[in-house]
Amino acid sequence: MRKRRVAAGMSQEALAAHLQTAGWDLSRAGLSKVEAGLRLVIDAEVVVLSKVLRCTPLDLLTGVNPKSVIGVVRQGRG
């Protein structure tokens, strides 16, 4: 996601503002956590993100290593 944001010439602050306008109430700090892999993104959020970044949801998911999200997924259990 960071690569797409940078390629679009947007700062985290700008992308967060665009996402909020599109209906996803995400702060710059929240966006930072998403980019760092500390917060998972649900399917509906991927759709909004892809629209704002003008790409497909698959473009955002390509190259994601499932092992890199296991720790985040496990934090949500319990």
- Which CATH architecture group holds 2-75? Orthogonal Bundle (1.10)
The alpha carbon of 9 is separated from its chain's Cα centroid by a whole number of angstroms, namely 16
CA distances from 68 to 3, 13, 23, 65 (A): 17, 25, 28, 5
User: Between 26 and 70, whose confidence is greater?
Assistant: 26
Task: Locate the domains of the chain by residue range.
Answer: 2-75
Q: Kindly tell me if the per-residue pLDDT of 78 is higher than 70.
A: no
Residue in the block written with tokens 């991927």 = 46
pLDDT at 20: 97
The helix/strand/coil state of 11 is coil
Q: Kindly tell me if the per-residue pLDDT of 66 is higher than 80.
A: no
pLDDT digits (tens, 9 = 90+) for 4-43: 999 999 999 999 999 999 999 999 999 999 999 899 899 9
pLDDT at 37: 86
